[in-house]
Chain A
Amino acid sequence: MSLVLFDQPGPRARARQRVFNVLALVLVAGLLALIVWRLHDRGQLEYRLWEPFVTPAYIQAILVDGLLKTLQAAGTSIVLAVVFGLLFGVGKLSDHAWVRWPSWAVVEFFRAVPLLLLITFVFFTFGVGDGFGPYWSLVVGLTLYNGSVLAEIFRAGILAVPAGQGEAASALGMRKTQVMTLVLLPQAVKIMLPSLISQCVVALKDTSLGAYILAPGLTFIGRSVYTEFQNQVPTAIVLAALYIAVNLVLTAVATWAQRRYVGEKSLVVPMVGDGASGLAPAGQRSI
């Protein structure tokens, strides 16, 4: 607690704080007790409902067919999205209007359209029947969306490199491509690494949308488990716990990268539907 805003609490303030502490304790404990009692009351704590999660065959199904597929989809789409984002992010900074404008339009379009709408469209247009199926529909959708977000991050990262760097490189006689690939990008990567990792968390969470088109993954497996055992509540809790665990690890990595490579400076990425102002700090993760 910083003591900038108020004085050191005196005896009366401390007594008041103690009262609030006790009230908060009662409130939080009451809420937790209510949840546990409710779970018990509705028979959701019975062993029968939790059994699949301690049965090796189901654990394997959840981890291999579920978590692994989810990580795979997220990983594949992030790799593809980096390529997409690099192309269009640099494209948005191009000196040629015929490169700049299409890049801008593509990035804006895919950032503004809901991912689920995009995935549904990709699936019903290219995925069904002889198409490439739900898994790749999900990956394509994720790539287009995350790629567009990454394009903005790349652009902001490149712009965050001090202007003198590019000017000095040009003065040395480098070509524009050389300036970008040898001088600007290597420095930009360092600045945007935390945002990139944060985007992995977003991609990982968004893989769950694949359940709408029956793509394999954690949520899909969860659905088959609770349809079979009618244990909706335990399944939901297990699903959430798995996602939270993986995401907390990724967030910790992002925080470490921020501290290691960037420091206090945070990258500024414009929000959707706005090119110039409306600057949102990118250190804060988008939904």
Chain B
Amino acid sequence: MTFLDGNVGLILQGFWLTIQLLVLSGICSIVLGTLLAAARVSPVPLLRGAAVVYVSIFRNTPLLVVFIFVFIAGPRLGLNYPFLVKGVLAMTLYTSAFVAEALRSGINSVPVGQAEAARSIGLTFGQCMREVVMPQALRAVIPPMASVLIAMAKNTSVAAAFGLAEATATMRGLTNNNANERLMIFLVFALGYIVIVELMSFAANRLERRWRVA
């Protein structure tokens, strides 16, 4: 474990950038994804169409190609920002499509009978949404949403290929300098990611249990 000498700070720095990427793109994706999901169920056909096109474009493009757009093609169009901003932008463009899908599937999972019953006892659209549909949809959304966000946490590693010194890039650097300890280095970094993923999964489970209908 000699690679740890003097490199602990480096490793922590790598994971700190990973966490920054994760939190910032998580927040932005949820915001953009919610807007997209809203557009997808809106009564305005054009917005619906635009959201469908956006989602199918970004769900079927590899994240690496989205990164190429933002990091390599972007500057050619005069769109140049600091590295972290570009990283968050690429992650957000990609992940928000999946967030929108997760939200939509959550809303769709509420049985139609619930809304019909709410309407038939005279609740207005707003009441029906607020009191009946949304609370159930929110609960149903947690597992798919958590899956999307966990996948995003792992996807932040793609930023390594574009000069962001997050955890995966740090591992590559350390591997080059300590060739005989590759396995240990890999296990240390894998453990770091596993901790992040398990924490997210644990939080999602707690939330789901707390919000579960009795």
Residue ranges of A at the interface with B (Cβ–Cβ < 8 Å): 1-2, 4-6, 9, 17, 20-21, 24-25, 28, 38-39, 42, 44, 109, 112-117, 120-121, 124-125, 201, 205-209, 211-212, 219, 222, 226, 232-233, 235-237, 239-240, 243-244, 247-248, 251, 271-274, 277-281, 284-287
Identify 18 residue pairs between A and B in the complex whose beta-carbon atoms are under 8 Å apart, listed by A's number: A24-B44, A28-B46, A28-B50, A112-B154, A116-B157, A117-B167, A117-B189, A117-B193, A120-B160, A208-B62, A211-B64, A240-B69, A277-B205, A280-B143, A284-B101, A284-B102, A286-B148, A287-B148
- The answer to whether A5 touches B115 (Cβ under 8 A) is yes
- The answer to whether A114 touches B154 (Cβ under 8 A) is yes
Interface string of B108-148 (1 = CB under 8 A from A): 01001001100100000100110001000000000110111
Which residues of B are found within 8 Å of A232, using beta-carbon distances? Answer: 68, 72-73, 76
Q: Name the one of B115, B143, B183, B190 contacting A109, with C-beta atoms under 8 angstroms.
A: B190
- The answer to whether B201 touches A42 (Cβ under 8 A) is no
Which residues of B are found within 8 Å of A287, using beta-carbon distances? Answer: 63, 94-95, 98, 148, 151-152, 155
Give the docked Cα–Cα distance between A200 and B64 (Å).
17
Which residues of A are found within 8 Å of B144, using beta-carbon distances? Answer: 280-281, 284
Residue ranges of B at the interface with A (Cβ–Cβ < 8 Å): 42-47, 50, 56-57, 59-65, 68-69, 72-73, 76-78, 94-95, 98, 101-102, 105, 109, 112, 115-116, 119, 125, 128-129, 133, 143-144, 146-148, 150-152, 154-158, 160-161, 167-168, 171-172, 175-176, 179, 182-183, 186, 189-190, 193-194, 197-198, 200-202, 204-205, 208-209
Give the docked Cα–Cα distance between A208 and B60 (Å).
12
- The answer to whether A114 touches B193 (Cβ under 8 A) is yes
Which residues of B are found within 8 Å of A235, using beta-carbon distances? Answer: 68, 73
A254 to chain B, nearest CB (A): 12
With A113-B193, A233-B77: A4-B68 Cβ-Cβ less than 8 Å: no
Give the docked Cα–Cα distance between A215 and B119 (Å).
57
Which residues of B are found within 8 Å of A120, using beta-carbon distances? Answer: 160, 168, 171-172, 175
Which residues of A are found within 8 Å of B133, using beta-carbon distances? Answer: 5
The residue in chain A whose Cβ has the minimal distance to the Cβ of B125 is A6
Which residues of B are found within 8 Å of A285, using beta-carbon distances? Answer: 59, 101
Give the docked Cα–Cα distance between A261 and B78 (Å).
50
Give the docked Cα–Cα distance between A109 and B187 (Å).
10
Which residues of A are found within 8 Å of B69, using beta-carbon distances? Answer: 236, 240
Which residues of B are found within 8 Å of A2, using beta-carbon distances? Answer: 112
A270 to chain B, nearest CB (A): 9
With A117-B190, A222-B68: A201-B73 Cβ-Cβ less than 8 Å: no
With A1-B43, A4-B115, A284-B102: A38-B77 Cβ-Cβ less than 8 Å: yes
- The answer to whether A112 touches B194 (Cβ under 8 A) is yes
- The answer to whether B157 touches A273 (Cβ under 8 A) is no
- The answer to whether B77 touches A39 (Cβ under 8 A) is yes
With A243-B60, A278-B205: A117-B157 Cβ-Cβ less than 8 Å: yes
A12 to chain B, nearest CB (A): 13
The residue in chain A whose Cβ has the minimal distance to the Cβ of B146 is A271
A112 to chain B, nearest CB (A): 5
With A120-B172, A243-B60: A25-B46 Cβ-Cβ less than 8 Å: yes
Give the docked Cα–Cα distance between A35 and B62 (Å).
21
Give the docked Cα–Cα distance between A109 and B154 (Å).
13
- The answer to whether B101 touches A24 (Cβ under 8 A) is no
With A117-B190, A280-B147, A287-B151: A273-B65 Cβ-Cβ less than 8 Å: no
Give the docked Cα–Cα distance between A116 and B171 (Å).
11
Which residues of A are found within 8 Å of B146, using beta-carbon distances? Answer: 271, 278, 280
- The answer to whether B76 touches A44 (Cβ under 8 A) is yes
- The answer to whether A205 touches B46 (Cβ under 8 A) is no
Q: Name the one of B77, B119, B193, B205 contacting A112, with C-beta atoms under 8 angstroms.
A: B193
A38 to chain B, nearest CB (A): 5
Which residues of B are found within 8 Å of A124, using beta-carbon distances? Answer: 172, 175-176, 179, 182
Give the docked Cα–Cα distance between A4 and B105 (Å).
18
Which residues of A are found within 8 Å of B63, using beta-carbon distances? Answer: 205, 208, 287
